[in-house]
Chain A
Amino acid sequence: MRSKTFLSITGLVGLHLILLCAGFFAPYDPTAQDRELPYAPPTRMHFEDGYGFHFRPFVYAWTTSLDSDQIESYREDRTRRYPVHFFVSGSSYNLLGGYRTTLHLFDVESPGKILLFGADGYGRDEFSRVLFGGQISVAAGISATLIALLTGGLFGIVAGYFGRWVDEVLMGVTELFLSLPWLYFLLGVRAFLPLHLSTLRTFFLLTGVIGLIGWARPARLVRGLVLSSRHRNYVLAARGFGGSDFYLLRRHLLPEVSGLLLTQATLLVPRYIAAEVTLSFFGLGVNEPVPSWGNMLATLQQYNVLVSYGWLLAPACALVVTSVLYSSLADMFHSRLKSYST
């Protein structure tokens, strides 16, 4: 495998693993507030101090003080020094939704705090929130993609295989869905559904809505593929041997379709993650206190936050990394599929 694809696959797998085990990689609970440290900047890691170089990094505590312009700002308190420990026991969490444990990758002794990405307005650790928020956003993207592809694939196969009026009706419906700009459509559908639901319900609602709007394009593509494959001579030949409809679908059409769906998946997942982020950004998605990259970015709509607290753009960076990784995977699939079809 070429190095670029190897890198992107490793990157993607690594990303998903980290998000999956967010509790392990994050030192703090994402909803734990700290009123002492609102909008604290990212903690700086130090390896050297007056005594020389240390292998174990350490951090200083943040304190606030008035500076020359009489504005409160943060500065490091060199008197309070906290070394960083690895594989420590901290707050408890559910690993993979079942196993309860307290093991964290890294932490510092309390009352010290290690805020890799700084803190938000409530003093919550941005790094932990990015990880847990990522769980929601990426899971939403993947679930929506599955819904869209399964629905679209099914309708596409039905339309392409049975043809005639079934095809015309289904294609008419897809054209209807595709005649609207997706965000308008999304907002519209969201408008007709209850605004304030429990987090779990909201999550299912979001993924359902995004997926059910997004089925149209995959359906069209699958239908086109099935139509063109259906009349291929080798399908005809198999029918000549007595192959049943089911056999033809399974043996000849499904491998083609699944190749298409896989490529589509790599394209759609980042788009649907972005859709969730957009919805939550507007306040129509996952709500506080549950973090999602979207509602985390929403605080940036305030002018002073946008200007002064740049580290709160962390979820945007995480989103970019995720999108770029999926994108390079999509490129790889695309070129591979192109060279395969004769």
Chain B
Amino acid sequence: MGSNLYADSPNDTPTESLLCVQALRKQYVRGGIWRKRVPVAAVNGVDFEIPRGRTFALVGESGSGKSTVARCVTRLERPDSGRILIRGINIAQLRSRDLLPFRSGIQIVFQDAITSMNPRFSALEIIEEPLLIQSQRGQVEYDRRNRRDRVGALMVEVGISPDWMHRSILHFSGGQRQRLALARALALRPQLLVLDEALSGLDLSTQAQVANLLLDLQAAHSLTYLLISHDLGLVARLADEIGVMSGGQTVEIGPTQQIVTSPNHAATKKLLAAARTATSAFAAATGEQA
């Protein structure tokens, strides 16, 4: 395999930050030749840090810019300004060729599994795609058999029988597809996993199962998670630290416990209220304690 940029060195302190985002800005421009160009600022000053092995959650309402942050961090979009430091190296403005060695270290899992996977492909083809791409570009060495074996191992790890690897993804349920998406994300042994509303499209029981799977995987592979969500209640169970976004900026950051019990910013309070309403309604219906 190629050089692992994330190899442990004896000088590393165990809580050094893996990801550090500083003053991130990105705007989109609507319109073309015929219409007036209207800039829409999606991300307008975002700062946060994630230490190794921890889970950081970025929450906010729809349109607060969270997904854009996710895309910038994984360099699916290029930010206009700001720094994105991976182990101290700024990848914000790197060209695609220079980005290649970093790609394997950060992976993203999308909300809607069905759209993030090509319906014409089988489970095997989907999960092995990152391996295929990276070996084609000379970053790793994987031949067909190795790829298949690796895919089988990954499928077992996420709880799906490897006998089904030749099935089209249309044959899997929503929860199973999300597991496959996780398997694919883990293929290149990433250090950082960005989960962009990855649990939002699932029903509650599946959500719980996949959340547990995430915790297991984190323990097994020392993964660092960046969770993006609008559901504060869900995030409170998984995250160590929470950052609240509103209007394209990070307005409040702090440990989970602090944010949940004593929020400062109006946006945080609003999200908390929404989460509480849901929980109390559930409690009222079942007669449990809130």
Report whether chain A binds chain B.
yes
On whether the beta carbons of B134 and A342 are closer than 8 Å, the reply is: no
On whether the beta carbons of A233 and B112 are closer than 8 Å, the reply is: yes
Selected contact of A237 from candidates B116, B119, B139, B170, CB within 8 Å = B116
Cβ-based interface call for B267 (8 A): no
On whether the beta carbons of B76 and A239 are closer than 8 Å, the reply is: yes
Which secondary structure dominates where chain A touches chain B?
Answer: helix
Cβ-based interface call for A232 (8 A): yes
Cβ-based interface call for A168 (8 A): yes
Cβ-based interface call for B256 (8 A): no
On whether the beta carbons of A252 and B32 are closer than 8 Å, the reply is: no
A193-246: which have CB < 8 Å to B? 232-234, 236-244
Instruction: State A237–B106 Cα separation when bound (angstroms).
Output: 12
Cβ-based interface call for B219 (8 A): no
CB-CB under 8 A from A164, the residues of chain B are 32
Residue of B nearest to A233 (CB): B116
Residue with the greatest number of chain B CB neighbours at <10 A, chosen from A233, A234, A239, A241: A241
Instruction: State A239–B75 Cα separation when bound (angstroms).
Output: 9
- Give the Cβ gap from B222 to chain A, nearest Cβ, in Å: 21
- Give the Cβ gap from A152 to chain B, nearest Cβ, in Å: 22
Cβ-based interface call for A192 (8 A): no
Cβ-based interface call for A57 (8 A): no
Interface string of B111-143 (1 = CB under 8 A from A): 010111111100000000110011011010000
On whether the beta carbons of B114 and A237 are closer than 8 Å, the reply is: no
On whether the beta carbons of B108 and A234 are closer than 8 Å, the reply is: no
Cβ-based interface call for B153 (8 A): no
Cβ-based interface call for A165 (8 A): yes
Cβ-based interface call for B56 (8 A): no
- Give the Cβ gap from A151 to chain B, nearest Cβ, in Å: 23
Interface size on A, residues (CB 8 A): 19
Cβ-based interface call for A247 (8 A): yes
Residue with the greatest number of chain B CB neighbours at <10 A, chosen from A238, A242, A255: A242
Instruction: State A331–B244 Cα separation when bound (angstroms).
Output: 53
Which secondary structure dominates where chain B touches chain A?
Answer: loop
Instruction: State A241–B136 Cα separation when bound (angstroms).
Output: 11
- Give the Cβ gap from A340 to chain B, nearest Cβ, in Å: 8
Selected contact of B107 from candidates A234, A236, A240, A244, CB within 8 Å = A240
Q: With A168-B32, A342-B170 as given contacts, are A241 and B115 in contact (CB-CB < 8 Å)? A: no
Cβ-based interface call for B103 (8 A): yes
Residue of A nearest to B77 (CB): A236
On whether the beta carbons of A240 and B103 are closer than 8 Å, the reply is: yes
Residue of B nearest to A241 (CB): B130
On whether the beta carbons of B119 and A241 are closer than 8 Å, the reply is: no
Instruction: State A23–B76 Cα separation when bound (angstroms).
Output: 60
Residue with the greatest number of chain B CB neighbours at <10 A, chosen from A232, A234, A237, A255: A237
- Give the Cβ gap from B198 to chain A, nearest Cβ, in Å: 12
Cβ-based interface call for B110 (8 A): yes
CB-CB under 8 A from A242, the residues of chain B are 99-100, 103-104, 130, 133-134, 137, 139
- Give the Cβ gap from A168 to chain B, nearest Cβ, in Å: 5
CB-CB under 8 A from B130, the residues of chain A are 241-242
CB-CB under 8 A from A168, the residues of chain B are 32-34
CB-CB under 8 A from A239, the residues of chain B are 76
On whether the beta carbons of A234 and B188 are closer than 8 Å, the reply is: no
CB-CB under 8 A from A237, the residues of chain B are 108, 110, 116-117, 129, 184
Residue of A nearest to B139 (CB): A242
On whether the beta carbons of A241 and B33 are closer than 8 Å, the reply is: no
On whether the beta carbons of B33 and A165 are closer than 8 Å, the reply is: yes
On whether the beta carbons of B134 and A241 are closer than 8 Å, the reply is: yes
- Give the Cβ gap from A239 to chain B, nearest Cβ, in Å: 6
CB-CB under 8 A from B133, the residues of chain A are 238, 241-243, 247
Q: With A168-B33, A238-B133 as given contacts, are A342 and B103 in contact (CB-CB < 8 Å)? A: no
Interface string of A118-130 (1 = CB under 8 A from B): 0000000000000
Cβ-based interface call for B74 (8 A): yes
Residue of A nearest to B110 (CB): A233
Instruction: State A342–B116 Cα separation when bound (angstroms).
Output: 13
B180-225: which have CB < 8 Å to A? 184, 188
On whether the beta carbons of A240 and B32 are closer than 8 Å, the reply is: no
On whether the beta carbons of A234 and B117 are closer than 8 Å, the reply is: yes
Q: With A165-B33, A240-B108 as given contacts, are A342 and B76 in contact (CB-CB < 8 Å)? A: no
- Give the Cβ gap from B180 to chain A, nearest Cβ, in Å: 12
On whether the beta carbons of B188 and A241 are closer than 8 Å, the reply is: yes
A238-262: which have CB < 8 Å to B? 238-244, 247, 252, 255
Q: With A165-B33, A233-B112, A233-B116 as given contacts, are A247 and B136 in contact (CB-CB < 8 Å)? A: yes
On whether the beta carbons of B76 and A236 are closer than 8 Å, the reply is: yes
On whether the beta carbons of A255 and B103 are closer than 8 Å, the reply is: no
Residue of B nearest to A245 (CB): B96
A23-46: which have CB < 8 Å to B? none
- Give the Cβ gap from B182 to chain A, nearest Cβ, in Å: 12
B15-66: which have CB < 8 Å to A? 32-34
CB-CB under 8 A from B74, the residues of chain A are 240
Residue of B nearest to A167 (CB): B32
- Give the Cβ gap from A51 to chain B, nearest Cβ, in Å: 67
Instruction: State A342–B119 Cα separation when bound (angstroms).
Output: 8
CB-CB under 8 A from B139, the residues of chain A are 242
Given contacts A240-B103, A243-B133, A342-B170, list 9 more A-B pairs with CB under 8 A.
A165-B32, A168-B32, A237-B116, A240-B76, A240-B107, A241-B133, A242-B103, A242-B134, A247-B133
Q: 11 A–B contact pairs at CB < 8 A?
A: A232-B115, A233-B112, A233-B116, A234-B116, A236-B76, A238-B129, A238-B133, A239-B76, A240-B76, A241-B103, A241-B129
